[in-house]
Structure 1
Amino acid sequence: MSRFDQLYRKLIVTKFFTRGWGQPENLKKIFDFRKVLGNRDACYKLVPPDYPVTIDKDELQGDVRILEGHFVSPFKKCVPGLMPKETEIARFQMVLPKEWKSHHKPVCLQLAGTGDHYYWRRRTVVARPLLKESGIASIILESPYYGLRKPKRQLRSSLHYTCDLFVMGGALMLESLVLFNWCERHGFGPLGVTGISMGGFMASLAASVYPKPISLIPCLSWTTASTVFTKGVMSESIPWKVLENQYSVDTVYADEIKHTLVSPEQVLGSTYNMGHEFVKTYSDKLEDLKLNQSPAEMENILKERNSHSFNDHGEKMDVQADIDSMEDYLVKKSGCKGDNETVGKFTIDRKSLKDNALDFMRGVMDECTHLGNFSIPVDPSLIIIVAANHDAYVPRTNVISLEQLWPGSQVRYIDSGHINAFLFHNVQFRHAIADSFTEQIKRYHS
C-alpha cells in the first residue's frame, strides 16, 4: 500500500453517501435495471442509432477544433424519477484536429474520475497531448452529479446517497452509446473509451454494452468498486454510522433487497465477505474518521479545512451537521445510544451493525459495478488495463482479476501508488490508448 496514498487521505475535503443508502424503492429499480444493462443486446436496443444530439459550439483554436454539445440522457426515460433535474442533460466537449492526417478518424471517449468536474483537466492532460502525439481525437463527457450536472444542494463531489453512484454509472453507459452512435453517423472511427480511477470503472461498463470491437483502456481501476468503498482508503470517507443505523431501522434493506444481490465473487467461488480486517480497525467515532480527497481534487484543494463552506449557489453548507442530525435521528429511532464503551447487549448490536453495513455495501457495489455482472467486451484483445502496484485506493486482493474475467486482455503495471500514478504517469496512460487503437486499426480497419 502506497504511503503517499495513505497520507493523501488525511486531507479533509469530501465525504460520500452522507444521507445514506437511498430509498429502498429506488435501489430496487436500479437493481432491476442493472439486469438490463448487464445484457448487451437488450441494453443496446434502448438507444436508437439516430438519438438526437445538439451541437452548441464549433470553433477553431489554432490547429485544434473544439465542439461542444448536449443531449437528454436516455436514463431519464428508461428509469423515470431517479435522476435529479440538474443531471438530466448530458454535456460533452470534443477535441479534434483541424484536418485529419489519414483516412482514419479515431475518437476516444473520456469518462471522469472522482472529483473531475468540467472538461479542463481531461482536455489539457489527455486530449490535447493524445491528439498531438497519436492523432486520436477525444470526446470528454461530463458525468451526472458533476460540473454543470451537479445538483444544487450537493457540495463538491459528495454524492448524497449510495444509489447516486449507480445512477451515475447507468446513465454514463447509455450516454456513451449515444456518443458512439453519433460518431458512427458522422464518419468517426475507430472508437475507444478510457478513464482514470472511477472513470476507468465507468469506461469498462460503457465498453460492455457496445456491440462492436472497441478499444478499452481503464486506468487505475479494477474488477469491482466494492473493495474501493470497504477496504481502500476511500472507505474512511464514508459516515458508516449513518449507513449502519439506516440499515437496521429500515428492514427492507435486509429482508427484501439483500437476498436479490448478485456477486460474481460468489458465483465463481471467491470468498464473499466484507473485509473483517476493516471492521476490526475502523473507529466507531465519526469524528475519528479521516477523510480522503479524490485525485482530481488534489489539483484544486480548497482553502477551508472545516466542514462549513458554501456551495456553487452561495448557500451555506454544513456536511458535518447534516451527518450528525441524520445520525441522531437514526440512533434514536433504532433505540441505540451510540456509546461504543457501553457494555452488554449494545456492544454486540454495534458490532453486528458494522458487519451488516459492510456486507450490504459489498453486496450493492458488486451488484452494480462488478464487471462479472456485465457482458464481456466484443474483443478483449483490444483492452489494455493500466494498474498501480501499490494502489491503496483500489485494492486488488481477494477479487477476480480482470485478466481472468476478460481472457486476452493485457495489464500494464506502474510501480507507484494511486495518487502518484494519477499525477505523474499520464504518458503511460496515453501510450496505452495509442497502442490499443493501433491494434484495432490493424485488426479491423486495414
Structure 2
Amino acid sequence: MVAVNLGFAHYLLDHLYGTIMHRLRLAPQFFSGGWGGQNMVLLEQITRQLLQQGLQQVSAQHWPPPAVRPIWKTVWESRTAKLQEGIFVTPCEELVRRALPFESQTARVRLLTPKNAPRHRSSCVVHLAGTGDHGFERRLRIGGPLLKENIATLVLESPYYGNRRPKLQRGARLLCVSDLLLLGRATIEETRSLLHWLDKEEGYGKLGVCGLSMGGVHAAMVGSLHPTPLAILPLLAPHSAAAAFCEGILQYGTAWDVLMRDEAAATGMTLEKTMERMRTILSLTDVTKFPIPKNPKAVIFVAATDDGYIPKHSVQQLHDAWPESEVRWVTGGHVSSFILHNKAFQQAIRDGLQRLD
C-alpha cells in the first residue's frame, strides 16, 4: 500500500507541475505559431524520403559525416579535470541549415575531461538535452562524478535552447511544430559529427550517447545510425515525440486551437483531426522505425514507474523493437526522477560502456 501511494504521489507531482505550467497557461504554449508553413512541408518531404530509401542505407552513404572542429576556450581547470567550451557551425545540410533560425546555426558544447588520462583508455559520452534543458549544468552534474572513472562528458546545447534560442521564442516553448523536427534533425547531425570527431581526432577508446526525455529520443536515433557500437542511454524517454505531445501531460501545453486555425491545416479541422495530424507528423520521430544498434546489449533505458509525461507502453515499444536491450525502472515520476535518480543514470552510463568490451 505504501509503494502504491508513493507511486501515486510521484504521478500526482507530474500532474501538479503540468497543471501549473500548462493547464493554467502560466507559461506560453507549444506551437503558438502553428505548423510551420513551408518548413513543415520541407521537413516532411526530407524525412519521408529518408524512411522510404532506408535509414541504414542512407546513413552508410553519408558516413563519415561533415567534420566539426570546435573553437575552444577554457572555462576552468584543476589538477584533476578541465572544462572547456567550444563553438562550431552546425554541419547540417544546406536546406536544413537555412531553415534553422540564425541563432541556432552556431552550435555550442562543453567538454569535461579528466586530466592525465590517456584518451585511448578513456571514454566519452555525449549528453543531449531534454525539453526545457537550457545550457549545460544539469547534464554536467550527471557526468561530473564519472570523471574519476576516466569517463568524459560532452554536453551539446540544443538548437532553440540557451544561446541558440530564437529571439521571438519564449523559454522552451517552440513556436512551430516544424521547429521540433528541425531541432531533432540538427541535434542528430551535430551529434553524429561530434562522435566522429571524438573517435577519429580525439581517439577515445569507448563512446556513448545519452539523453533525458526528448534528448533520449535523439540519443536513440543517433545510436541507431552509428556505424560502430556505442553505449546508448535513453533516460525517461518515449519511443516517439507523439507519445509525449499526444498522450502525456505536454498535450495540455499545446496550442491546439492555433493549430486548428492554421492555414496549413485543412479547412474545417476538428480537435480530433488536428491531434491525428500531429500524431502522423510526429510518427516521423518513431525510433522503432530506425535500425537496431550494432550492439543492442549496450542499450540501457532508464524509465520511471509513475511517469505522467511518458507512458509505460511507449518505453516498452522501443525495448521490444531492440531485442537484447535493457529497461531499468526507477521509482518516481518524470519530474521527481529528474531530481532524484542521477545515481541510476550514472550507473546506466557505466554499465553501457562496460558492455562495449
Amino acid at match of 1:3: L
1:54 aligns with 2:70: yes
1:394 aligns with 2:302: no
User: Displacement, 1:53?
Assistant: 1.1
User: Displacement, 1:44?
Assistant: 5.0
Q: Taking structure 1 as reference, are residues 178 and 392 closer, same or farther at Cα in structure 2, changes over 3 Å only? A: same
Q: Taking structure 1 as reference, are residues 423 and 438 closer, same or farther at Cα in structure 2, changes over 3 Å only? A: same
Amino acid at match of 2:301: I
- Determine the structure 2 residue equivalent to 1:22: 36
Q: 1:193-204 counterparts in 2 under 5 A?
A: 193-204=209-220
Structure-2 separation of matches of 1:30 and 1:20: 15
Residues 76 and 88, structure 1, Cα contact 8 Å, conserved in 2:
no
| 3-state SS of paired residue (2:77) | strand
TM-score, length-scaled by structure 2: 0.89
Q: Taking structure 1 as reference, are residues 96 and 141 closer, same or farther at Cα in structure 2, changes over 3 Å only? A: same
Q: Between Structure 1 and Structure 2, whose CA radius of gyration is higher?
A: 1
Residues 15 and 249, structure 2, Cα contact 8 Å, conserved in 1:
yes
- Determine the structure 2 residue equivalent to 1:3: 12
Structure-2 separation of matches of 1:102 and 1:152: 39
1:183 aligns with 2:198: yes
Structure-1 separation of matches of 2:118 and 2:106: 33
TM-score, length-scaled by structure 1: 0.72
Structure-2 separation of matches of 1:167 and 1:408: 31
1:32 aligns with 2:45: yes
Amino acid at match of 1:152: K
Q: Taking structure 1 as reference, are residues 14 and 99 closer, same or farther at Cα in structure 2, changes over 3 Å only? A: farther
- Further displaced range: 356-365 or 48-57: 48-57
Residues 40 and 178, structure 2, Cα contact 8 Å, conserved in 1:
yes
Q: 1:41-440 counterparts in 2 under 5 A?
A: 41-43=57-59, 45-46=61-62, 48=64, 51-58=67-74, 60-100=77-117, 103-123=120-140, 125-132=141-148, 134-185=149-200, 186-246=202-262, 249-250=263-264, 253=265, 353-367=270-284, 369-397=285-313, 401-440=317-356
Residues 49 and 182, structure 1, Cα contact 8 Å, conserved in 2:
no
What per-residue deviation string (whole Å, max 9, x for no partner) do you get for residues 227-250 of structure 1?
21111111100111111122xx44
User: Displacement, 1:14?
Assistant: 4.0
- Determine the structure 2 residue equivalent to 1:297: none
Give the percent of matched residue pairs that are identical in Structure 1 and Structure 2. Answer: 34
What per-residue deviation string (whole Å, max 9, x for no partner) do you get for residues 280-300 of structure 1?
xxxxxxxxxxxxxxxxxxxxx
Residues 97 and 105, structure 2, Cα contact 8 Å, conserved in 1:
no
What per-residue deviation string (whole Å, max 9, x for no partner) do you get for residues 55-107 of structure 1?
32145234111222222112252535311111011111110101117852200
Q: Taking structure 1 as reference, are residues 50 and 358 closer, same or farther at Cα in structure 2, changes over 3 Å only? A: closer
Residues 75 and 174, structure 1, Cα contact 8 Å, conserved in 2:
yes
What per-residue deviation string (whole Å, max 9, x for no partner) do you get for residues 347-377 of structure 1?
xx6xx6111101001111112x101232221
User: Displacement, 1:420?
Assistant: 1.0
**Count of residues paired in the alignment:** 338
Amino acid at match of 2:277: F
| 3-state SS of paired residue (2:107) | strand
Residues 49 and 181, structure 1, Cα contact 8 Å, conserved in 2:
yes
What per-residue deviation string (whole Å, max 9, x for no partner) do you get for residues 200-236 of structure 1?
1111111122111000000001211112111111110
Q: Taking structure 1 as reference, are residues 401 and 52 closer, same or farther at Cα in structure 2, changes over 3 Å only? A: closer
Amino acid at match of 2:40: L
Residues 47 and 174, structure 1, Cα contact 8 Å, conserved in 2:
no
Q: Taking structure 1 as reference, are residues 14 and 424 closer, same or farther at Cα in structure 2, changes over 3 Å only? A: farther
Q: Taking structure 1 as reference, are residues 81 and 144 closer, same or farther at Cα in structure 2, changes over 3 Å only? A: same
Residues 288 and 321, structure 2, Cα contact 8 Å, conserved in 1:
yes
What per-residue deviation string (whole Å, max 9, x for no partner) do you get for residues 363-416 of structure 1?
11112x101232221111110000011111011337861221101100001121
Structure-1 separation of matches of 2:68 and 2:196: 10
Residues 193 and 207, structure 1, Cα contact 8 Å, conserved in 2:
yes
Residues 124 and 206, structure 2, Cα contact 8 Å, conserved in 1:
yes
Q: Which has the higher contact order (CA 8 A, sep 6+)?
A: 1
| 3-state SS of paired residue (1:397) | helix
| 3-state SS of paired residue (1:155) | coil
Amino acid at match of 1:365: L
What per-residue deviation string (whole Å, max 9, x for no partner) do you get for residues 110-144 of structure 1?
00111111112211x21211223x32111000100
Structure-2 separation of matches of 1:393 and 1:216: 21
- How well do the aligned residues superpose, as a CA RMSD in angstroms? 2.1
Q: Taking structure 1 as reference, are residues 110 and 102 closer, same or farther at Cα in structure 2, changes over 3 Å only? A: closer
Structure-1 separation of matches of 2:50 and 2:329: 33
